[in-house]
Structure 1
């Protein structure tokens, strides 16, 4: 679903039902995770949203020239009669001609290997509506992170053949030799898929990824040749996504006037179940790994912390560009981030971790000590499932306690000052970046921590 244009190693096949294999029935077992949508609202401990057009993260149209604006409004995503409802609507919103929703379990539910089933009723695809049920690798940048498309309907070839609502596809995407590789299979189902609920099942183990609908297999990919085919992405945890797109490259329709599928269109998800029995399976439930409240040390040696990053073990400091270490006494402890940036080049750094559930810190603040004399504008950021979120420090604007006099000052940025911050899924807990300064810049940062309310 993410940047679906296939530009390398396309291995695409379209098969009819006569060629379909019937996989063995799933063993009767207890799901290790399930979602039955029994509440009155979407559970934020399980789901979060991608919002907007993708431009905010540098992939306008979500990499596929899609025409909708994704929202988190109940008009586009809600719980109704025991179903998750994702609704695409024709309406002008924030400059886009359509709205819809894209939900994901990023930072909340990640898994590797298993049998994943979902009971879904898709909308009438017609021309331009594109439902999808898929996975993305939990770590990395596409296509390095990998992608498994379990179900997609509304393909351009299906539209051209007059079977838009019968042609169902599965695909995988990965990085091969520094480029994008993909493999896709399609099947012509004997009746319109949107006529009723269908059970879409993926089985994923170290040898194969296979996908079926109502027991009929329509996709298979061998993944055991990890080194030869560069398939590392499919042996790492993935997150689940559900969305309903409008237009774009998969449908071959790029003009809003060309969308003739009935709108509003609704994708209904009754339940989702994950079974795991392979010894190398992995399952991460973010809600079971929430960081306790208090003070959490990002780059701090103070005592009394509720927890702290361990550099070299679960955290790394990455210098991105134009920063040279300099000597300087720390504010506390034995170390500080002390750097010089040369004039005329952007500079930046970030502290990278695994996923951290910092939801107990909502309503709290990012705190650190800093000393500098630069008048240059810089940004302090946090990266979460929503992408990068930044707070600007300008010479004449809010500086949250910083005084640029060369002395140590405590800086306190309330988390509410960051735009689109998902504290359930923090990936880079502290970042600094700046456009090219007019003069050399020296700065010192120490005692960085999160403070809960």
Structure 2
């Protein structure tokens, strides 16, 4: 899907965040953002979870042949004694032999450039544990979005060298010439990294990304040749991730019996602090731009809305495949989404927004008006930081108010009907998709909005 219209916008507008401009003198002395884990639970305004094995988004093993199932249970992730605790456990869960957790600030805290410090106590890596502290670009799909691996421990080469608990690495990944490019490096620490808390520091500016542990530098990447080396990804906002994987390509262990690291294994994060002093630095906090409760217009011209998308400015309608515009009177206002899909080809469309904080709408519903006569199955979806979530519309099944008689009907889908929605970070507010229909399909959709409870 083409995202160029979004990328061409000023980044803060594209993300729908509040972008903070902070005086350089203040930035040089105090953090512009920090997380101290001083509460009693993980703050959902700062962190969300990746859950499962990755298969639900088409990358089983999270793209690395990892062996764990990520959960959001307190057994695997919790705040305890002023630390974030990420715990990997050997237990059969949803068909996987291990559990653990992966947290991220996607849709909540994004930044470009700065000095990022974290005080972390890693577990004994042994054979099979893979603690990681890293970042992903906020726009696009991997590797186009970019990846910065600040800290990784447990590499197969370190295991082979007897240095599994002393060798720490960093890496970057990006798109070069239409393919995946990467650069990585490592250093051997004088003692076992898991013996105590260590301070991992990344400095990121328009010229370099550098990473140290307790002052020992182990990674450096020059990023100033933006055009020549196709390094645009490293000059755009990223978000943070913290996880503790079990097995996988990085460790060289693909069999659960090969994991001999002590379990349960715990990664403790005491604090994270971000400092920024470069004039091109950006900090974007999603919570500062939460959409007020009420009715939010996704594709609607009705009055009295709490807010609405502005197509051509902060939203775009993308036709993905096999949809030809047709003439049809709207339900309200002057426009409607009216399309014909030919038999034998899949079809789909989506309204791209990128990162809207719709948390005030939790417990509410997606509402729209639709008219069609098709008996074919189609899906209505929303894309959030958890990926795509769909509700099936099958002839004779739950249709949430839709009658397939060619007349206008209001459809109401409770957000609870969608699987794994992160309403703090909604990226595509409305989608329609279907497998190849047996006959031509006509769909007319209008007055799409979110309704809070």
Q: TM-score, normalised by structure 1?
A: 0.94
What is the rounded CA distance, in whole Å, between the counterparts of 1:249 and 1:286 in structure 2?
Answer: 33
> Does 2:156 align with 1:138?
no
User: Which residue is 1:232 aligned to?
Assistant: 232
CA contact (8 A) 2:28 2:275 kept: no
CA contact (8 A) 2:389 2:419 kept: yes
User: Which residue is 2:30 aligned to?
Assistant: 30
What is the rounded CA distance, in whole Å, between the counterparts of 1:298 and 1:125 in structure 2?
Answer: 47
> Does 2:437 align with 1:446?
no
User: Which residue is 1:201 aligned to?
Assistant: 201
User: Which residue is 1:48 aligned to?
Assistant: 48
What is the rounded CA distance, in whole Å, between the counterparts of 2:110 and 2:220 in structure 1?
Answer: 22
What is the rounded CA distance, in whole Å, between the counterparts of 1:322 and 1:271 in structure 2?
Answer: 50
Shift of 1:333: 0.6
Matches within 5 A, 1:330-345: 330-345=330-345
CA contact (8 A) 2:134 2:149 kept: yes
Shift of 1:286: 1.0
Query: What's the secondary structure of 2:149's corresponding residue?
Result: strand
Q: Deviations over 1:187-211 (max 9, x none)?
A: 0110000000000000001110000
User: Which residue is 1:266 aligned to?
Assistant: 266
User: Which residue is 1:82 aligned to?
Assistant: 82
User: Which residue is 1:160 aligned to?
Assistant: 160
What is the rounded CA distance, in whole Å, between the counterparts of 2:322 and 2:266 in structure 1?
Answer: 49
Shift of 1:215: 1.2
Number of residue pairs matched by the alignment: 427
Matches within 5 A, 1:345-360: 345-360=345-360
The runs of 4+ residues in structure 1 deviating greater than 2 Å are none
Query: What's the secondary structure of 2:234's corresponding residue?
Result: helix
Query: What's the secondary structure of 2:291's corresponding residue?
Result: coil
User: Which residue is 2:9 aligned to?
Assistant: none
What is the rounded CA distance, in whole Å, between the counterparts of 1:354 and 1:322 in structure 2?
Answer: 24
CA contact (8 A) 2:28 2:277 kept: no
User: Which residue is 2:176 aligned to?
Assistant: 176
Q: Deviations over 1:264-319 (max 9, x none)?
A: 00000000000111111111111111001111100001111111101110000000
CA contact (8 A) 2:28 2:276 kept: no
Query: What's the secondary structure of 2:400's corresponding residue?
Result: coil
| Structure 1, unaligned runs of 5 or more | 1-26
What is the rounded CA distance, in whole Å, between the counterparts of 1:414 and 1:95 in structure 2?
Answer: 30
Q: Deviations over 1:417-448 (max 9, x none)?
A: 11100000000000000011000000100000
User: Which residue is 1:118 aligned to?
Assistant: 118
What is the rounded CA distance, in whole Å, between the counterparts of 1:335 and 1:28 in structure 2?
Answer: 51
User: Which residue is 1:411 aligned to?
Assistant: 411
> Does 2:453 align with 1:436?
no
Query: What's the secondary structure of 2:395's corresponding residue?
Result: coil
> Does 2:378 align with 1:378?
yes
Query: What's the secondary structure of 1:185's corresponding residue?
Result: strand
> Does 2:369 align with 1:369?
yes
What is the rounded CA distance, in whole Å, between the counterparts of 1:195 and 1:312 in structure 2?
Answer: 54
Query: What's the secondary structure of 2:56's corresponding residue?
Result: helix
Query: What's the secondary structure of 2:157's corresponding residue?
Result: helix
What is the rounded CA distance, in whole Å, between the counterparts of 2:282 and 2:303 in structure 1?
Answer: 34
User: Which residue is 1:101 aligned to?
Assistant: 101
Shift of 1:354: 2.2
What is the rounded CA distance, in whole Å, between the counterparts of 1:424 and 1:215 in structure 2?
Answer: 36
User: Which residue is 1:22 aligned to?
Assistant: none
CA contact (8 A) 2:39 2:82 kept: yes
Shift of 1:216: 1.4
Shift of 1:139: 1.1
CA contact (8 A) 2:352 2:429 kept: yes
CA contact (8 A) 2:70 2:100 kept: yes
User: Which residue is 1:393 aligned to?
Assistant: 393
| Structure 2, unaligned runs of 5 or more | 1-26
User: Which residue is 2:24 aligned to?
Assistant: none
Matches within 5 A, 1:303-342: 303-342=303-342
What is the rounded CA distance, in whole Å, between the counterparts of 1:332 and 1:40 in structure 2?
Answer: 48
| CA-based RMSD | 0.7
Shift of 1:151: 0.2
What is the rounded CA distance, in whole Å, between the counterparts of 2:164 and 2:374 in structure 1?
Answer: 59
Query: What's the secondary structure of 1:200's corresponding residue?
Result: strand
Query: What's the secondary structure of 1:233's corresponding residue?
Result: helix
What is the rounded CA distance, in whole Å, between the counterparts of 1:409 and 1:161 in structure 2?
Answer: 67
What is the rounded CA distance, in whole Å, between the counterparts of 1:28 and 1:140 in structure 2?
Answer: 31
CA contact (8 A) 2:296 2:308 kept: yes
Q: Deviations over 1:80-107 (max 9, x none)?
A: 1000000000000000000000000000
Query: What's the secondary structure of 2:162's corresponding residue?
Result: coil
CA contact (8 A) 2:201 2:212 kept: yes
Shift of 1:29: 1.2
Q: TM-score, normalised by structure 2?
A: 0.94
Q: Deviations over 1:153-204 (max 9, x none)?
A: 0000000000000000000000000100000010011000000000000000
What is the rounded CA distance, in whole Å, between the counterparts of 2:370 and 2:278 in structure 1?
Answer: 49
Shift of 1:28: 6.0
